[in-house]
Structure 1
Amino acid sequence: MLISLFGAFESGIIYAIMALGVYLTFRVLDFPDLTVDGSFVTGAAVASIAIISGIPPIIATLMAAVAGFFAGCVTGLLHTKGKINSLLSGILMMIALYSINLRIMGQPTLPLLNETTIFKQLESIWASTGINSFFNSILGSLGMDNTPATWSILIVMIIVTIAIKLLTDYYLKTEVGLALRATGDNQKMIRSFSANTDTLIIVGVGFSNALVAFSGALIAQHGGFADVGMGIGLIIIGLASVIIGEALFGTKTIARTTLAVIGGAIVYRIVVTLALQAEFLETGDMKLITALLVIAALVAPKAIRTRREKKRRLQKRTELSRYKVEEAS
């Protein structure tokens, strides 16, 4: 169980980068972007083929982010310049990327088990420092045996994800970022201030898909393979992470919201992992579990607010009745 939870936390922190990308389009730009299902695989495909070709893993991962940025920009262009509905633009790009990803990979699946990935480099570096043994000895002294030997991946990914979160926070507080947020709230208003909303949407969707592709590249290296179907339904996972995070941790500020999205991605992976431990559930039920989690995250906060409002009204009515009785006496 400990190993499973550790793995869920580890993959959750990587998927959190993808969730941040979904947050930018879904919440900030109010743009239902289904390109995510394709750009995630694009990132995995570009990084995998680059690593197999002998390019250093770090550069390959950055190349994946650039490829995702261009894919997002095309979606933005279809919507702004082609005047195609935002939802349809994402669907068209997602379909086109399926064939493009196959062209990049040359085959449906690319194995990376015998290749030097960024995580294998981290493990070899940290193994020589003895940090993995240090953490495992601490947990071993607490009676936790069979502890994972991939502390380097977890610690480095936490640092990378937090760095991307801080970069996103800073970007959204700049002049361009504020204009981007205003575009999502009211395009007509921001146009009255001579802002080019088309450019803002294109750049915003591009930046979002760059994060998604970056996450896809890391997941491919973490799992040891890139598959053309690994992005199917990913937008639902991203939305689940955003919605769960907002419901659990709140959205008072940008910094708190982006942190909530990261927390939501981790909670989602942990809940799915725990749910799959049940004997009556199978691996194929993961989509059903995701749907139920999203439904719960959407319905529960509204139900709680409704209950609080009813309680507040009842209390106010009681106080008013008491006041009338005192006035009459």
Structure 2
Amino acid sequence: MSVIALLGAAELGLVFSLVALGVFLSFRVLDFPDLTVDGSFPLGAAVAATLIVAEWNPWAATGLAMVAGALAGIVTATLNVRFKILHLLASILTMIALFSVNLRVMGKPNVAIITQDTVLTPFYGLGLSDAVLRPVFVLVVVLVVVALLARFLTSEFGLAMRATGVNARMARAQGVSTDLHIYAGMALSNALVALAGALFAQTNGFADVTSGIGTIVIGLAAVIVGETVVRSRVILWMLVGCVVGSILYRIAIQLALNTDFIGLQASDLNLVTALLVAGALILPRLGNPLRAKGGTAAKGGRVAG
């Protein structure tokens, strides 16, 4: 694999690490299976691209893309909290609706912004090549997001949100407004996913209504791989694990698709993804068979005695 391909994989991994952080919030912190991300990712790209084409400031366009993603998360939370629709079904309904919303926002299936100014434009004068500038810029954004998110999740409000995900009934007994924290968590989760979509559009030069297909799988894969590689219960390292998992996942995909003797093609991407996620889930469960046998024998001895 060439250096350019490696940098491209790292860049894409960093962009989707924001998706992984959003998925981490919904799945791991709130225990809320959320498929809205398949719609909020292209929503962020659509809003940012449409506003940039309309000659808005790229930073303002990116901020509004995050607001749009947050609203999508609030819609899902409202369906679940207010109308008692099962969380999985509520997120599917929002995801389906967002496909039409994204088409409305763009007015067509895709919008090209390759000739427009983006958030990257002011940094092109630094002397870095495009292949290096893009991943470095996204890395800085991701590091800032990780630092802010770690600070948030260790604050009083963040701890209450984590308690809501662990045991909502106990959290309510302690005076925590679990409904409020679900709303806030879902809004923040999908705002991060929409930010990823906005950056994806600006680094790749286009927004497409189908770009969100499989986003939830990519986010889950990154979270699972990250938890396998970075084993820690400290919230900062758990967030770092999401970022590392996303980068490793993208590099593994790139290596698999560029290895000639395996014979994989771009159309095999979903197969490779399924195998990687399955491997990440299975390997930690295998453990050490010798240790397992020893533990069983020891238990048997104690029972017999």
Q: Same fold (TM over 0.5)?
A: yes
Give yes or no for the alignment of 1:273 onto 2:254.
Answer: yes
Match of 1:327 in 2: none
- Counterpart mapping for 1:314-329 below 5 A: 316=298
TM-score, scaled to structure 2: 0.94
* 1:159 corresponds to which of 119, 123, 140: 140
Give yes or no for the alignment of 1:302 onto 2:282.
Answer: no
Post-superposition CA distance 1:124-174 (Å, at most 9, x none): x313xxxx2xxxxxxxxxxxxxxx643222222212101100111111111
User: What amino acid maps onto 1:126 in structure 2?
Assistant: L
Closer, same or farther: CA 307–230 of 1 in aligned 2, 3 Å: farther
Give yes or no for the alignment of 1:31 onto 2:32.
Answer: yes
Name the SS of the counterpart of 1:118 in structure 2: coil
Instruction: Give structure 1 stretches of 5+ with no counterpart.
Output: 133-147, 325-329
User: What amino acid maps onto 1:220 in structure 2?
Assistant: A
Q: Distance in 2 between matches of 1:307 and 1:86?
A: 41
Instruction: Point out 4+ residue stretches in structure 1 off by more than 3 angstroms.
Output: 305-308, 311-314
Q: Distance in 2 between matches of 1:317 and 1:84?
A: 45
Name the SS of the counterpart of 1:161 in structure 2: helix
Match of 2:75 in 1: 74
- Counterpart mapping for 1:240-255 below 5 A: 240-255=221-236
> Given that residues 122 and 153 in structure 1 are in contact (C-alpha distance below 8 angstroms), is that contact kept between their aligned partners in structure 2?
no
- Counterpart mapping for 1:166-315 below 5 A: 166-279=147-260, 280-304=263-287, 308-313=291-296
Q: Distance in 2 between matches of 1:308 and 1:259?
A: 30
Closer, same or farther: CA 181–282 of 1 in aligned 2, 3 Å: same
Q: Shift of the alpha carbon at 1:18?
A: 1.2
User: What amino acid maps onto 1:266 in structure 2?
Assistant: I
Match of 2:66 in 1: 65
Q: Distance in 1 between matches of 2:168 and 2:76?
A: 18
Structure exhibiting the larger radius of gyration computed from Cα positions: 1
Q: Distance in 2 between matches of 1:265 and 1:26?
A: 16
Match of 1:145 in 2: none
Closer, same or farther: CA 306–38 of 1 in aligned 2, 3 Å: farther
Match of 1:143 in 2: none
Closer, same or farther: CA 197–116 of 1 in aligned 2, 3 Å: same
> Given that residues 7 and 131 in structure 2 are in contact (C-alpha distance below 8 angstroms), is that contact kept between their aligned partners in structure 1?
no
> Given that residues 161 and 182 in structure 2 are in contact (C-alpha distance below 8 angstroms), is that contact kept between their aligned partners in structure 1?
yes
Q: Distance in 1 between matches of 2:239 and 2:291?
A: 27
Closer, same or farther: CA 291–189 of 1 in aligned 2, 3 Å: same
User: What amino acid maps onto 2:57 in structure 1?
Assistant: P
Name the SS of the counterpart of 1:276 in structure 2: helix
Instruction: Give structure 2 stretches of 5+ with no counterpart.
Output: none
Across the two proteins, how many residue pairs are aligned to each other?
300
User: What amino acid maps onto 2:283 in structure 1?
Assistant: A
TM-score, scaled to structure 1: 0.87
Q: Please, what is the CA RMSD of the aligned residues?
A: 1.8
> Given that residues 103 and 209 in structure 2 are in contact (C-alpha distance below 8 angstroms), is that contact kept between their aligned partners in structure 1?
yes
User: What amino acid maps onto 1:180 in structure 2?
Assistant: M
Q: Shift of the alpha carbon at 1:113?
A: 1.3
Post-superposition CA distance 1:39-89 (Å, at most 9, x none): 001000000000000011111111111110111011101100010000000
